[in-house]
Structure formats: structure tokens, C-alpha cells
Amino acid sequence: MMTVITDNLPVFVVIAPLFVAFILPTFARRLRLVEGLVIIANTLWIAGAAYLASIVLSQNGIPITYALGGWQAPWGIELKAGSLGALFILIIAGVSLMVSFFARNNLTEEVGSYERVARFYVLILLLGGALAGMAVTNDLFNVYVLVEIATLSCCGMVSARKHARAAEAAFTYLILATLGSILVMGGIGFIYIITGHLNMAFASQELGRVWQNSPHVVWMAFSFFLVGFGVKAAVFPLHVWLPDAHSTAPAPASAILSGLAVKGYLICLLKILYNVFGQTLMQQYAVQRILVIVGTLTIMAGSILALTQDELKRRLAFSTVAQVGYIFFGFSLINTKGLSGALFYLVSHAVIKSTLFLAAGAMISATGEGKISGLAGIGRKMPITVAAFTVASLGLIGIPLFSGFIGKWYLLLGSMEAGSVIPAVVIIAGSVLCAAYLLPVIRVAYFEPTPEVDVKDPGLSQKVALIVLAAAVVILGILPGPFMELANMAATELLVLK
Amino acid sequence: MRDFILKQVASIILPFVCIYGFYVILHGAVSPGGSFAGGIIVGLSFIAFSTVYGIEKCRAKLPEKALVWTESFGTLWYGIMGMAGIIKGAPFLANKLAGIDVGVPGKLISGGLISFIGIGVGIRVASTIITLFFTMMEEEL
């Protein structure tokens, strides 16, 4: 039994959430059962992910390759669960588990009837499965399919609320994300035309041989991938859909969308840039410079736009744009420190931003007030929620002992090693701006006089979710051990291909 | 009695359309088409039925619960079939490696696992397309 699980682990971590997603609609009328199933599935999933991570760690980062259906690459679809995949799946499963805890007994208010809630859970699990697939797949067309699954489930989650604004945001997202999908598809097509392979390893081998024969096609492929994944991951000029979509979705959906969905596309981009094109081509086509420019622009623009927002969830959504900028910038640093910093930052941002969105959701549903000024004095009425929000904010700003600091520190070291000074300044300026837009929320919540209104404290499972996530922010900051090790291995592995 | 001809013609044609859909699904492994196209044809027969005879009559034949169950388990079926490989000690979705008889190429029973997966996918596609149609028809604007 154990060997069966060990042998098939890379596929189990992908299909486990999908399996549960498919049986949920049949129990739609019994919400307790649905929620219980989702939590059990997520628990099993995180156990599988932790086991996978421990195997990868014990093998010193040597990936487990898995040929679906027994068809070996380049003919069949190959899964490759290396340190990158293990790290990302672990964080997806962890955040999903906590989000499903938070969503317990809490969704009917925002989403509606039991059937709608059940469908919402289906979408969460589908998205989780798709993201896990992105983390382990080694096949370009598979990437496209998973990107589509993830995009469509995100659209469903954005429109989950019965609200005209939610429908509008979901429609904008659908149009722009479909545009992104088409571009990604085009990029994959270009690679396939010149290499004749869809498997990443074989495609990159062939690409190294033939790229000089058709340099313009490679150029097109690069730009299609950058713009396509750029739309989906919301880098600066292409971010227009994100604030609406992430701020109108229900709180658990915002947490998953901001914390995980955006990261899935970034992981895909990272794998395509480093595992298919490789460093030499990236330098040849100055993709690195584009990433630096776009990344720094995104950090500054996202932070400044976040400062101008009055609504708490919109402010957090713009902050997501800024943090994507950090990760994008990290991808441009072709050295172990920078890449592992970007990956660790990705992990810590997933935890931090889901905490922030969940806490914000709890505060907003308690006061019925979306504006920051409406949260005056709430820190005394909802101590745990606001404490979790504070811890996560400090993490996002990058105070030492919180997880954001380590990611930013490695990004700084990496950019110093790459000899670029301006991005280093931008990283620090971004942190200052981050403090400027998050600390006022905490000040309002703790130090403004409390108006005499009834505030509904969140339930026990919501509190547990917030406490665990906030604890994770601190633990990742103090003992980043295995996560940093996985990120390091992943960075080393990505840099193998020249 | 205004739609007498339409109803008579539909009552003769639609059963054959439905059967043709299943024919396409089952021959997915050996001829053009397949479970998606076949599923669409099966779904289409029900959609045509509900446009001719009214949506309530079609609802009576296909209760919501049946649609939800076929839709969910049609997809789950794919996964369960994939597990056959794992149970036999071969990778996920393994076909011949899992010891399944793949038959003689060109004959009806020649896809091994593919035919079984195709049935699930076909039923799922049919129920999805019917659900989509019902949802659009009954949506309050």
C-alpha cells in the first residue's frame, strides 16, 4: 500500500482535490457534509504534499519523474515533482486547508444558497488541482490546459457573490484572462512549430539547437509568454482586472485568488523561462531586462495605487499587484540567491496575503463597512482577527522575524550579486510604501475611538484559521528551514539549464 | 394541435438521434468523432425534445438530480478508470500496461480503457450541455 502511494505520489497530489470536487455537487443539499469532505480532502492533500516534500528533501532535490499511462516522454505526458513542485503544492494545500476552515459556516451569507456554496467549493478544489498540476507538469500543452482550468474556476469564484459589481468584475476578468490564455497558447504553438516537442526538457534541448535558424519565432514566443502570463499574473500595465476581481469576490475566494491563483501562473512562467528557454536565450533576447523593468514598475505602481485606495479589500488587491512585482523582479536575477528569494517570497506572500484577506473579510462582515475609516476601534472588539491582520501586515512590510523579510533579504542579496542597484532601492522603497498603506489600517483599528455598535465576532473555526495562518507567517520568518532549503534546491535546479 | 407535424416528426427522429449519439460515443476509439461529439449529439436530442414538447416535459424525463449525478460521476468515472492502472501496479491511466485487453485495431472493442472512459465523458458532456440549456432557459433576466 505504502509503495503504491509513494510510486504514484506526483499524480495523487494533483487528482486528490479533483476527485473530491467531482463528487461534491451530489451532496449539495447537505452543507455540513460538503464542508467536512472539503476539509478531509484538504487534510489528506496536505499530508500527501508534506510527504512529497520530505521525499524530495531526502533525495536532495532530485525530482521524481512520472510518465502518465506508462507512455515515456517525449510521447507521453510527463510529471516532474521536484523541489519547486513540492514547495508550491505544500503551500497550496496548506493555504487551501486554512481557507476551507475559515469558510466553514460562513459562506451562505456572502454566496447564497447551499447549492451555490457547494459549487463554490467545487471551484476552490478545481483551482487547487489545477495549480498543483501546474507545479508538477513537465508538458507544455498540459500547462495550457491547467491554465484554462484555473482561469475558469477563478472567474466562477469572482462571480460567486450575487452582485452586479461581481458580475462585471468577473466578465472583465474572463475577457482579459482569455486573451492571456490565447497568447500562452500561441507561445506554446511557436515552441512546438520550431522544436516539434511539447515536453519541456526535449523542447529546450531542441530549442538550443535550432533557435538560430528562426530567431524571430523565439522572439515571438518570448513575448507571447511574457504578455500572456503577465495578464494572468497582473503585472503593472496589465493589472487592470485584478483590483475589481479580487475585491468583489467573497473573502475566502479573495484569499485563494490573491494568495495562490496568481502564483500558479508565475510558477508556469518561471518553468517556461528557465526550463524551456534557458538562461542563455533569456540573456540573448534581453528578457531579463524586461523582467527587471516590469518588476520594478509593478512594485512602484502597485504600492502607489494601493496608497490611494479607501476600501480595505481594494487596497489589499493593489498590494498584491505590488508583490507580484517583487516575484517578477526576482525571476530576472539569474543567480541562486535571487531565484530562491523570489520563490520564498512567493510562498510567504501566499500565506501573508491569504491571512490579510481573510482577516479583512472577517472585519468587513462584522462591521458591514468596506472602508478603512469604518473600522475604527475594531481592534478592541475583534482582538484575534486584528492581531492576525497586524502580524501579516508586519510580514508583508518585511520586518525581521516575519516571513516577508527573508524573501526580501534574499532578493536584495541577489540583486546586489547581479550588480543592479536601482532595483535594490526599489525593493526598499516598496517596503516603505507597504508600511505606508498597511499601518494606517492598524492605527485606525487599534487607536481610534470605538463607536457604540454591535460587532459580530467570527466563529471558532475562523479564529483557528486566522491564528494558524498568522503563526505560519511568524514560523516561516523565524525557522524558514525546510522551505528555504526547498527554494534553494529549486533555484539551483532551474539554473542547471544554461 | 398546431405543432402536429413537428411533434410527429420529432417523435420519429429524436430516438434515432439519441442512438446515433451513443453510436458515436462507442465508436470513439475507431472512427472520427468520439465521446465529446457523441455526448453533444445525445444532449442535442434532449434539447430538441424540450424545444418541441416544452421544457417541463423534458424536466420530467430528466430530473435535476439525475443531471447532477451523471455530470459529477461522468467525470469521476474518468478518474476511477485511471485508477485501474494504479491498482494493477502500472502508472495512472495505464491501458495496455495495466493488463487490459486492447483487442484488434479497427474493431469496436479495441480501445481498452479508452472505450470505458469515453462512455463516462460522453454522458458527462451530454448532461452538461443539457444543464447549460436548462439554466439559460430558466434564468430570470
Per-residue model confidence as pLDDT tens digits over A301-355: 999 999 998 899 999 999 999 999 999 999 998 888 999 999 999 999 999 999 9
Whether A360 maps to a domain, the answer reads yes
Amino acid making up residue A187: G
- Cβ–Cβ contact B42 with A under 8 A: no
On the question of pLDDT at A454 being above 80, the answer is no
Q: Are A26 and B75 in contact (CB under 8 A)?
A: no
Task: Tell me the percentage of chain A whose pLDDT exceeds 90.
Answer: 57
Give how far A101 is from chain B: nearest CA, Å.
24
- Cβ–Cβ contact B64 with A under 8 A: no
Phi first, then psi, for residue A333 (nearest 5°) are -85, 105
Per the omega criterion (within 30 degrees of 0), is the bond before A74 cis?
A: yes
Query: What CA–CA distance (Å, rounded) separates A492 from A337?
Result: 9
Whether A136 maps to a domain, the answer reads no
- Cβ–Cβ contact B110 with A under 8 A: no
Question: Which of A8, A15, A22, A136 to substitute to test the interface with B, most B CBs within 10 Å?
Answer: A22
Here the ipTM equals 0.89
Whether B85 and A69 lie within 8 Å, measured CB to CB: yes
Per-residue pLDDT tens over the stretch A390-446:
999 999 998 888 888 999 999 999 988 888 788 888 989 999 999 999 999 999 888
Whether A26 and B69 lie within 8 Å, measured CB to CB: yes
Task: Tell me the percentage of chain A whose pLDDT exceeds 70.
Answer: 99
How many degrees, rounded to 5, is the angle at CA A132 between CA A135 and CA B95? 95
Query: What CA–CA distance (Å, rounded) separates B39 from B18?
Result: 9
Q: Which of A18, A69, A70 sits opposite B79 (nearest CB)?
A: A18
Q: Which of A230-239, B22-31, B85-94, B98-107 has the lowest mean pLDDT?
A: B98-107
Full domain range(s) for residue A361: 286-498
Residues B4-13 have a mean pLDDT of: 91
- Cβ–Cβ contact B90 with A under 8 A: yes
Per-residue pLDDT tens over the stretch A282-306:
888 989 899 999 999 999 999 999 9
Identify the closest residue of chain B to A10 by CA–CA distance: B92
Per-residue confidence band for A198, with pLDDT thresholds at 50, 70 and 90: very high
On the question of pLDDT at A191 being above 70, the answer is yes
Q: With CA atoms as reference, report the closest residue to A446 among A368, A370, A369, A363.
A: A363
Per-residue pLDDT tens over the stretch A102-156:
988 888 878 888 888 888 999 999 999 999 999 999 999 999 999 999 999 999 9
Per-residue confidence band for A236, with pLDDT thresholds at 50, 70 and 90: confident
Residues B129-141 have a mean pLDDT of: 85
Q: Which of A11, A22, A67 sits opposite B76 (nearest CB)?
A: A22
Whether B79 and A26 lie within 8 Å, measured CB to CB: no
- What are the CA-CA distances from residue A322 to residues A235, A306, A307 (Å)? 8, 9, 11
- How many residues are there in chain A? 498
Query: What CA–CA distance (Å, rounded) separates A68 from A66?
Result: 6
Identify the closest residue of chain A to B65 by CA–CA distance: A26
Q: What is the pLDDT of residue B56?
A: 87
Q: Are B33 and B93 in contact (CB under 8 A)?
A: no
Helices vs strands, H then E, count in chain B? 5, 0
Give how far A66 is from chain B: nearest CA, Å.
8
Whether A68 and B97 lie within 8 Å, measured CB to CB: no
Number of independent structural domains in chain A:
1
Q: Which of A23, A28, A70 sits opposite B76 (nearest CB)?
A: A23
Q: Which of A11, A25, A70 sits opposite B68 (nearest CB)?
A: A25
Residues from chain B contacting residue A18 (CB–CB below 8 Å)? 79
Q: Are A455 and A381 in contact (CB under 8 A)?
A: yes
pTM for this prediction: 0.93
Q: Which of A11, A25, A66 sits opposite B72 (nearest CB)?
A: A25
DSSP A452-466: S-------HHHHHHH
Identify the closest residue of chain B to A5 by CA–CA distance: B86
- Cβ–Cβ contact B132 with A under 8 A: no
Whether A124 maps to a domain, the answer reads no
Task: Tell me the percentage of chain B whose pLDDT exceeds 70.
Answer: 97
Burial of A482 (0-12, 13-18, 19+ CB in 10 A): middle
On the question of pLDDT at B141 being above 60, the answer is no
Whether A19 and B85 lie within 8 Å, measured CB to CB: no
On the question of pLDDT at A467 being above 90, the answer is yes
Whether A443 maps to a domain, the answer reads yes
Residues A350-372 have a mean pLDDT of: 89
On the question of pLDDT at A469 being above 80, the answer is yes
Whether B68 and A23 lie within 8 Å, measured CB to CB: no
Whether A385 maps to a domain, the answer reads yes
Residues from chain A contacting residue B82 (CB–CB below 8 Å)? 15
Beta bridge partners of A66: A79
Give how far B136 is from chain A: nearest CA, Å.
16
Buried b (16+ CB within 10 A) or exposed e, A5-34: eebbbbbbbbbbbbbbbbbbbbbbeebeeb
Assigned C-alpha cell, A196:
516539434
Per-residue confidence band for A496, with pLDDT thresholds at 50, 70 and 90: confident
Residues from chain A contacting residue B68 (CB–CB below 8 Å)? 25-26, 28
Whether A439 maps to a domain, the answer reads yes
Whether B97 and A70 lie within 8 Å, measured CB to CB: yes
Q: What is the pLDDT of residue A229?
A: 94
Q: What is the pLDDT of residue A396?
A: 92
Whether B92 and A11 lie within 8 Å, measured CB to CB: yes
Place of cell 528569494: A341
Query: What CA–CA distance (Å, rounded) separates A293 from A411?
Result: 15
Whether A4 and B86 lie within 8 Å, measured CB to CB: yes
Whether A446 maps to a domain, the answer reads yes
Whether A278 maps to a domain, the answer reads no
Contact residues, chain A to chain B, C-beta under 8 Å: 4, 8, 11, 15, 18-19, 22-26, 28, 66-70
Per-residue confidence band for B1, with pLDDT thresholds at 50, 70 and 90: low
Place of cell 420529432: B10
Query: What CA–CA distance (Å, rounded) separates A186 from B69?
Result: 36
Amino acid making up residue A129: G
Assigned C-alpha cell, A283:
540573456
Q: What is the pLDDT of residue B140?
A: 65
